[in-house]
Amino acid sequence: MNTAPVNTSTVPAIAPPSAPPATVPAAVPAAASARSLAAYAVARVIREGVTLDSALKDALAATPITLAPSVKSLSYGAVRGYYRHEALLGKLLSQPVKALDVLVRALLSVALYELEDSRTPEYAVVDAAVKTAKATDAARAGGLINAVLRRYLREAKLLNTEVGRNPATRHASPVWLADRLRADWPVRWTQLLAAGDAQAPMWLRVNGQHISTEEYLLKLEAAGIVAQAEARVPYAVLLKTPVDVQDLPGFAEGWVSVQDLGAQCVAFPLALSPGLRVLDACAAPGGKSALMLEREPGLAKLVAVDIDPNRIVRVRENLARGNLIADLITADVSQTSKWWDGVPFDRILLDAPCSALGVIRRHPDIRLRKSPAEIDKLPLVQARLLTSIWPLLATGGRLVYVTCTLTRSENRDVIGAFLRGTPNAKSVPVESWIGWPGLGEADEYGRQILTGEAGADGFYYAALTKI
């Protein structure tokens, strides 16, 4: 180890941040290591607000494929623990954490994740973090990184105990998010924080048009993949350990898709039957469109609309894999005069854009990218979408409102306000949803699956009918 020991208990302050302008990604060094690629990806999430997946896609584009698993696991680990690391750094540094250069901050999170993960010897983590800093734009911070990590190692037990006392920092949540969850779920909020901090399981949806769940379980067994069916949600299969989709029997042939259990519950309030005309109003990447077409091949029509042309491509790919057919439209669904043929729909699925707090365990970068101000704007967007597509529903038809979030403001309150302002809209009681397996907590209008319940992501469902 070539790093000198640090004797002081207070880490020296560093120069003010010298981060590049917000939209300009820092250049990744030519001979990049997994650690530096991970840190640059994390830095882009912090600085530019891009998703971690898109930052990783760019980072890995010109990288040997062998580095990809380490870059992914380091960056996900750093992002997952980001706010716990922030609390630790707050105790380790003599200056505000926010004053750190973004890349230095990201490098520290990568290293703290490695120390928490404890698969790499401690000395090697510190050594590698300092070397990585020296090989990047963070070269000047090598001494600081060395000092911070060494002090963390000396005081880890005490620091982790202190940080663990607060449920928000224990579960690596920003304080504002913990406060929101506590306000909406006063009894469950710490459980929700813990669920958001856990690793998400891999759920499959078996395509009953091709193969039964029982037969598919046998195929998995033959392939050496341990799995079990979730009897309460037909076609849902839980894998003991996540696998690469290419290793799933019949994946390319559309026998099976990856879809969370909570998302698969959409089938219950929809109550599909042959001959129905269905609109999937916010369809991309097409998971629920595919589910509807698999469950009810006798639909008269499925129209799948999404505003994002790149994401519509993914709907096309997902449906093509299962030989499923829908009318795909790229449009703002609320501008109905631009795309609707005037024939009413019997079912409308509005899987609305939302704060996605129910899927944080899959996308931990949500905690870095969302802000309370942004979340507060969403109910207006959701209400506008509901109001603009309501005229497209046939009398006696059903609209199912879905989000993958946990805030009452985006769920119960949106539906409540819509019902109050729409005399021909009526709530379909949750008790009448055939097949609903008793998941979730009911509110006045719908049902909230809480993250982690039965292994599912957090989803909200409400069904409305037109009178």
Ligand X SMILES: C[S@@+](CC[C@H](N)C(=O)[O-])C[C@H]1O[C@@H](n2cnc3c(N)ncnc32)[C@H](O)[C@@H]1O
404 is catalytic: yes
Q: Which one of residues 86, 137, 306, 457 is an interface residue with ligand X (CB under 6 A)?
A: 306
Among 48, 116, 122, 308, which residue sits at the site for ligand X (rule: CB under 6 A)?
308
How many angstroms separate the CA atoms of 432 and 268, rounded? 10
The sheet carrying 256-258 orders its strands as 227-229, 236-239, 202-206, 256-258
Q: How far is the CB of 50 from ligand X (least distance, A)?
A: 16
Q: Which of 79, 333, 399, 428 binds ligand X (CB under 6 A)?
A: 333
Rule CB under 6 A: is residue 77 a binding residue for ligand X? no
Contact indicator for 145, 131 with CB cutoff of 8 Å: no
Count of C-beta atoms within a 10 Å radius of residue 90:
13
What residues between 258 and 297 interact with ligand X by CB under 6 A?
Answer: 263, 282-288
Q: Which is nearer to ligand X, 182 or 311 (CB)?
A: 311
Is 334 one of the binding residues for ligand X (CB under 6 A)?
yes
67 contacts 130 by C-beta, under 8 angstroms:
no
The one among 172, 305, 366, 386 contacting ligand X by CB under 6 A: 305
Six-digit token string for 289: 């469109």
Binding of residue 353 to ligand X (CB under 6 A) = yes
Smaller CB separation from ligand X, 310 or 323? 310
DSSP, collapsed to helix, strand or coil, labels residue 252 as: coil
Binding of ligand X by 332 (CB under 6 A) = yes
Helix or strand (DSSP H, E) at 418 = helix 412-421
Sole binder of ligand X in the list 86, 114, 230, 351 (CB under 6 A): 351
Binding span for ligand X by CB under 6 A among 53-61, 96-104, 304-312, 445-453: 304-312
307 binds ligand X (CB under 6 A): yes
Instruction: Mark the segment that binds ligand X (CB under 6 A) among 65-73, 163-171, 328-336, 435-443.
Output: 328-336
Q: Which residue is nearest to ligand X (CB)?
A: 282
Q: Is 409 helix (H, G, I), strand (E, B) or coil?
A: helix
Least spacing, CB of residue 311 vs ligand X, in Å: 5
- Cβ-Cβ contacts under 8 Å for 377 (sequence gap 6 or more): none
Counting Cα atoms < 13 Å in the Cβ hemisphere of 180 gives: 20
* 412-433 burial: b if 16+ Cβ within 10 Å, else e: bbbbbebbeeeeebebbebeeb
Which residues are catalytic, by number? 404
Q: Residues interacting with ligand X, by CB under 6 A?
A: 263, 282-288, 305-308, 311, 332-334, 351, 353
